């Protein structure tokens, strides 16, 4: 892999990470609800899902997946339903009220265990068919086929995950800075409804993702 290919991929990874998507929505939602430190578990899960998609595409399995209409629709449906489920769960998220704080500062969202936060992040990226489409379409352009593929995949994976870690933490930090405005129970419920609606909308939009321009 040449330096030119790598730096081009770096800028492409920046654009992909910054572009609003389910991962960005999840990072902002958890950042606002739980704070940046606890959202790190969610973002770690997002990276694990991203790595899985990247290596699936790099191994050629993604091409086979896109070539099979049935397999692609299964993945798409699972991903869409999972995001809709996440959105619905966000709508119904419990709001804890602490009696030892002033009323306007007594409400906060219940924080799930670390394992669950990591799993939510992982499944959000791992079941995203748009990610698979992008990786299968774009990744081969940055790989020199005359050279060993695995070292190149590792470089690309490290680059993309580093960029995504920074961007997702930035989203979480930006959202967490707004926490002081969401201290009462009503505001937290409105926040959950807002992000839950976005997640469900993103999930519904996945049903319209096509396997290929000719699909």
Buried b (16+ CB within 10 A) or exposed e, 144-175: eeeeeeeebbebbbebbbebbbebbbbbbeeb
Asked if residue 42 lies in contact with residue 117, where contact means CB atoms within 8 angstroms, the answer is yes
pLDDT, greater one: 180 or 54: 54
Pseudo-torsion of CA 38, 44, 45, 47, nearest 10°? 150
pTM > 0.75: no
Q: At what angle do helices 129-138 and 69-91 cross, to 10 degrees?
A: 130
Of 210, 170, 184, nearest to 28 by C-alpha is 170
pLDDT at 105 over 70: no
pLDDT at 213 over 80: no
Radius of gyration over alpha carbons of the chain, in Å? 19
pLDDT value, residue 209: 67
pLDDT at 141 over 80: no
- Alpha-carbon distance of 76 to 106, in angstroms, equals 40
Bridge partners for 109 per DSSP:
95
What is the pLDDT confidence band of residue 197, given thresholds at 50, 70 and 90? confident
Considering the chain, what is the average pLDDT of its residues? 78
Other Cβ atoms less than 10 A from the Cβ of 182: the count is 20
Other Cβ atoms less than 10 A from the Cβ of 5: the count is 16
Name the percent of the chain lying above pLDDT 90: 21
pLDDT digits (tens, 9 = 90+) for 42-73: 999 999 999 988 887 777 655 665 667 776 77
- Alpha-carbon distance of 179 to 115, in angstroms, equals 24
């Amino acid at each position: 892999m040449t330096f030119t290919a790598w730096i081009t991929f770096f800028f492409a990874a920046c654009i992909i990470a910054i572009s609003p998507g389910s991962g960005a929505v999840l990072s902002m939602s958890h950042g606002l609800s739980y704070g940046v430190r606890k959202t790190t578990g969610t973002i770690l899960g997002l990276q694990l899902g991203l790595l899985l998609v990247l290596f699936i595409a790099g191994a050629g399995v993604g091409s086979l997946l896109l070539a099979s209409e049935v397999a692609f629709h299964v993945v798409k449906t699972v991903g869409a339903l999972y995001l809709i489920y996440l959105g619905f769960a966000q709508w119904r998220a419990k709001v804890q009220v602490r009696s030892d704080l002033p009323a306007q500062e007594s409400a906060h969202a219940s924080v799930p265990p670390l394992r669950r936060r990591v799993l939510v992040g992982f499944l959000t990226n791992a079941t995203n068919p748009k990610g698979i489409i992008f990786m299968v379409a774009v990744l081969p352009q940055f790989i020199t086929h005359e050279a060993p593929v695995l070292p190149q995949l590792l470089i690309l994976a490290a680059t993309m995950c580093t960029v995504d870690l920074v961007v997702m933490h930035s989203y979480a930090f930006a959202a967490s800075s707004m926490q002081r405005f969401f201290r009462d129970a009503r505001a937290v419920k409105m926040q959950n409804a807002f992000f839950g609606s976005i997640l469900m909308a993103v999930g519904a939009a996945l049903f319209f993702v096509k396997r290929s321009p000719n699909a």
